[in-house]
Amino acid sequence: MVNPVPLEARGVSYAYAPGHWAVRNVDLDLPAGARIALLGANGAGKSTLLLLLSGAEHLCHGEIFLHGTRAERSRAGLRRWRREVGLLLQDPEDQLLAPTVEQDVAFGPLQDGVEETQARKLVGQALSDMAIPHLATRPVHELSLGEKKRVALAGLLVQAPAVLLLDEPTAGLDPGGVRALREILHTLSQAGTAVILATHDVDFAYEWATEVCVLFQGGILARGVPAGVLADREMLTHASLEPPLLLEAALAISGPPPLPRSRAEFREWARPTRRVFP
């Protein structure tokens, strides 16, 4: 039976130098289909935590479990870890390796020994899932930032990971790119993929996430449902964050729960009593 929590972190800690902790004693469960946003100021530990969860960095303390089994750093263990957990870096160029889109997305399956004909099928499906089949033959260096992020994400999805980790995925994207990314990530979570992303974008986190975790000096300062955590202005100020605009507006109007989490929901929520700002 497949473990319903594909990734678990227990007491995870990491120091860049003795006494300089980047991540401190973090416990985190990523159940299937989860949508978790990591929020925090620069230096709070978000990116480092993702690297630890992906196996790209060694733990100083703690343990990570994949489908209930302790993750190992042996050659076979790391291969399994990286197949189960995909990491999208903030700059997609850091993980785009091949001349064309199709070649880049095929890299992982071919390295794992997948036969070329089957690899092509997997690549075609991944590009279709990312709504970019038209980019298959395009040179990677000709792509926009948003297209490069989709290609890098397709290169992870072709491996069918149980967990996706994304570092600042909305950085540099225009509003249309952010909307497209939100829809893609929502579809992936509905299909059972656990998605956790690090972001400064509290508005994106409020609309998209089922759970938010606020990091401060490497530890978890607050966690829970977005409307609860992100309404705590005192805590957010302590963490050098601002509350989401939609949530602030809804609280200012003092309307009934559940509070709206998107612009469309806000318009419907505000209409019945024709609420207006004072």
Report pLDDT digits (tens) over 60-92: 999 999 999 999 999 899 989 988 999 999 888
- Please tell me what DSSP assigns to residue 135: G
Identify the pLDDT of residue 1.
Answer: 45
Residue 276 has pLDDT above 70, yes or no: no
Q: Are 84 and 69 a contacting pair, CB within 8 Å?
A: no
Residue 51 has pLDDT above 60, yes or no: yes
CA 79, distance to chain mean position in Å, is: 21
Please provide the average confidence, as pLDDT, over all residues in the chain: 91
Neighbour tally for 255: CB within 10 Å: 17
Mean pLDDT confidence for 139-145:
93
Report pLDDT digits (tens) over 209-246: 999 999 999 999 999 999 999 999 999 999 999 999 99
Residue 255 has pLDDT above 80, yes or no: no
Identify the pLDDT of residue 206.
Answer: 96
87/79 Cα distance (integer angstroms): 14
163/185 Cα distance (integer angstroms): 12
* Confidence tier at 111 by pLDDT (50, 70, 90): confident
Q: Are 266 and 251 a contacting pair, CB within 8 Å?
A: no
Identify the pLDDT of residue 2.
Answer: 54
32/113 Cα distance (integer angstroms): 27
Mean pLDDT confidence for 46-59:
95
